[in-house]
Amino acid sequence: DADVTQTPRNRITKTGKRIMLECSQTKGHDRMYWYRQDPGLGLRLIYYSFDVKDINKGEISDGYSVSRQAQAKFSLSLESAIPNQTALYFCATSAASVGEPQHFGDGTRLSIL
């Protein structure tokens, strides 16, 4: 979905480095989400934000932090990257109304050596 933009698209880095993945959206949605996907597995929720001042941990938040800089921007940080954080990372957004679907970005492929 071109309305949800993730940067970078690919990143290779070393163990122990701090990494920031960025997500911006032009959909005007209040809610934003970060997921990771490992090979052959489904998506798992890392963090979610229902508005700028409402940030919540998902099912696998350990080792990650987030920042909601504005309604349109939601960043995911790995403070000290480790190899098992190698994965595909997806950002998603949704409107706040009940039942509204989530719309995903194209993902960031992160490799940690």
As measured in angstroms, the least distance from the Cβ of 20 to another protein is 19
31 or 68: CB nearest another protein: 31
Give the residue among 56, 17, 21, 53 at the shortest CA–CA distance from 36. 21
Residue 83 backbone dihedrals phi, psi, to 5 degrees: -55, -30
Selected binder of another protein within 48, 74, 110, 112 (CB under 8 A): 48
Q: Return the bridge partners of 93, or none.
A: 32, 103
The answer to whether 4 and 73 are in contact (CB under 8 A) is no
Selected binder of another protein within 75, 105, 110, 112 (CB under 8 A): 105
4 or 81: CB nearest another protein: 4
Q: Return the bridge partners of 8, or none.
A: none
58: tokens are: 């998902």
Q: According to the binding rule CB under 8 A, does residue 60 interact with another protein?
A: no
As measured in angstroms, the least distance from the Cβ of 25 to another protein is 12
State how far Cα 87 lies from the chain centre.
12
- The site for another protein (CB under 8 A) is made up of 1, 4, 31, 33, 42-43, 45, 48, 50, 88, 90, 92, 94, 98-99, 101-107, 109
